[in-house]
Structure formats: structure tokens, C-alpha cells
């Protein structure tokens, strides 16, 4: 009888220990997100931690805040350097176009003058063989049986964005600031801006 009682007591203690272990394991699984679940090992009935899939972390998989700040700073420096360079390129291209337009109009005036000096068409006495305006170069003149045009169209001043140009007649002084209106001896831009070489566009 005593042995039966002792065996029963040992069985109760064993059940209490197992129940407490099961309860603690369940509490950890429910109470903490980092708890490792337990499973019964096959054949032994003992509890063992179950395998938990782990996720590897690669530091190079993303940018840190410091790296992001450095990248933004570098981009800002490059952008601030690129804007003046772009403006320089635009201004230089406009100056190239202005020189080309002035050369085209002055060449047309010279060809008109040559044709007038050869007596190809009638001219006014005070014109000295120069055209009265740029539109005459575009419309052309009748030379014998042909209509001769000297200018395809009046160019647009790249500095002012208009076809309004400043003229100087053959009778005007070299430093005249206004056009006499007798003829078109020379043509200039009306822009008072400063070129990259330090000169004024209206003096070109």
C-alpha cells in the first residue's frame, strides 16, 4: 500500500512539472513575439524548440540616412554647376545666330548695291544705291525680265525676339544713335545687352 502511494505521488509530481512546462511554453508563445515555439520530439514525448526560419540581412541592400543625405548634397552641387553652364551655352548660341543674321542682311545689302551700281534698276537720287528698307530686299526688284530677291526673309533678332532692327544710312554719322531714314547702309541689333566678350550687341 505504501509503495502504491509513493508511486502515485511521484506520478502526480511528474504531471505537475510537465503541466507547468507546457503552460510556460504557451505563455511565452502568446505573450512575446520573440518566443520560440516548442514541439514534441518524436518517440520521447519531450518538448524541444521548433525550427524558426531566419531572414538574412544585407547592409548593402539599401541606403542609410547618412548616405542619402550625401547623395542629395552631391546632386545639388552638380545641379548648381550645370545651370550656369547651360545658360552660357544658350547665350553663346544666340550670339552665334546674331552674327549669322547680321552677316546675311549685310551681304544682301551689298548685293543690292552692286546691282544698283550696274544700272540693273532705277534708284532714288539720295539712296546712293542702297535699299530703302529690309522689306525691299525680301520683295526683290525687277532686273530686266527677272524678279531678283536678295533676302529670303527678315531674320528675327535672337536677342530681342523681334524683326525690329536698328539701321544706319549712308548719310548718318558713324556714331549716330538714330536713323536718318534715307537708306539702309548698315544694320544692327537693338539689344543693349553685353556679350560674352564684353562688347554691346548694338555695336556689332
Residue 42 lies inside a defined structural domain of this protein: no
128-135 contacts: CB < 8 A, separation 24 or more?
128/170, 128/183, 128/185, 130/169, 130/170, 130/183, 130/184, 130/185, 131/183, 131/184, 132/183, 132/184, 133/184, 134/105, 134/165, 134/184, 134/187
Residue 31 lies inside a defined structural domain of this protein: no
Q: How many CB atoms lie within 10 A of CB 182?
A: 16
Residue 72 lies inside a defined structural domain of this protein: yes
Residue 11 lies inside a defined structural domain of this protein: no
Domain range enclosing 136: 66-203
- Average pLDDT of the chain? 78
Task: Give yes or no for residue 115 having a pLDDT over 80.
Answer: yes
Task: Give yes or no for residue 129 having a pLDDT over 50.
Answer: yes
Helices (H) and strands (E) in the chain, counts: 3, 6
> Residue 147's beta-bridge partner residues?
142
For 177-200, the pLDDT digits (tens) are 889 889 999 999 999 999 999 999
Cell of residue 60, nine digits: 548593402
Residue 84 lies inside a defined structural domain of this protein: yes
For 84-109, the pLDDT digits (tens) are 778 888 999 999 999 999 999 999 99
Residue 177 lies inside a defined structural domain of this protein: yes
Confidence of residue 62 (pLDDT cuts 50, 70, 90): low
- Residue carrying C-alpha cell 548660341: 93
pLDDT given for residue 32 in this prediction: 46
- The backbone torsions φ and ψ at residue 32, rounded to the nearest 5 degrees and listed phi first, read -125, 140
Instruction: Give the integer Cα–Cα distance in Å for 126 and 171.
Output: 9
Residue 60 lies inside a defined structural domain of this protein: no
Global pTM?
Answer: 0.60
- Residue carrying C-alpha cell 552638380: 78
Task: Give yes or no for residue 11 having a pLDDT over 50.
Answer: no
- The backbone torsions φ and ψ at residue 185, rounded to the nearest 5 degrees and listed phi first, read -90, -35
Residue 99 lies inside a defined structural domain of this protein: yes
Query: What is the radius of gyration, based on Cα positions, of the chain?
Result: 48
| Residue 166 and residue 191 in contact, taking contact as beta carbons nearer than 8 Å | no
Q: What is the largest CA-CA distance in the chain?
A: 154
Report how many domains make up the chain. Answer: 1
Instruction: Give the integer Cα–Cα distance in Å for 140 and 149.
Output: 4
Confidence of residue 36 (pLDDT cuts 50, 70, 90): very low
Amino acid at each position: 500500500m505504501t509503495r502504491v502511494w509513493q508511486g502515485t505521488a511521484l506520478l502526480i509530481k511528474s504531471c505537475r512539472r510537465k503541466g507547468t512546462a507546457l503552460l510556460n511554453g504557451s505563455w511565452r508563445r502568446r505573450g512575446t513575439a520573440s518566443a520560440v515555439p516548442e514541439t514534441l520530439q518524436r518517440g520521447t514525448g519531450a518538448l524541444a524548440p521548433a525550427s524558426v526560419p531566419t531572414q538574412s540581412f544585407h547592409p548593402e541592400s539599401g541606403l542609410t540616412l547618412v548616405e542619402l543625405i550625401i547623395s542629395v548634397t552631391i546632386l545639388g552641387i552638380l545641379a548648381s554647376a550645370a545651370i550656369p553652364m547651360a545658360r552660357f551655352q544658350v547665350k553663346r548660341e544666340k550670339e552665334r545666330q546674331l552674327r549669322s543674321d547680321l552677316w546675311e542682311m549685310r551681304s544682301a545689302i551689298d548685293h543690292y548695291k552692286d546691282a544698283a551700281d550696274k544700272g540693273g534698276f532705277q534708284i532714288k537720287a539720295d539712296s546712293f544705291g542702297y535699299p530703302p528698307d529690309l522689306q525691299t530686299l525680301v520683295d526683290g526688284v525687277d532686273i530686266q525680265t527677272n524678279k531678283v530677291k536678295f533676302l529670303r526673309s527678315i531674320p528675327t533678332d535672337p536677342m530681342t525676339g523681334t524683326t525690329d532692327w536698328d539701321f544706319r544710312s549712308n548719310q548718318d554719322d558713324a556714331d549716330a544713335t538714330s536713323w536718318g531714314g534715307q537708306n539702309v547702309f548698315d544694320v544692327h541689333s537693338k539689344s543693349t545687352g553685353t556679350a560674352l566678350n564684353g562688347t554691346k550687341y548694338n555695336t556689332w
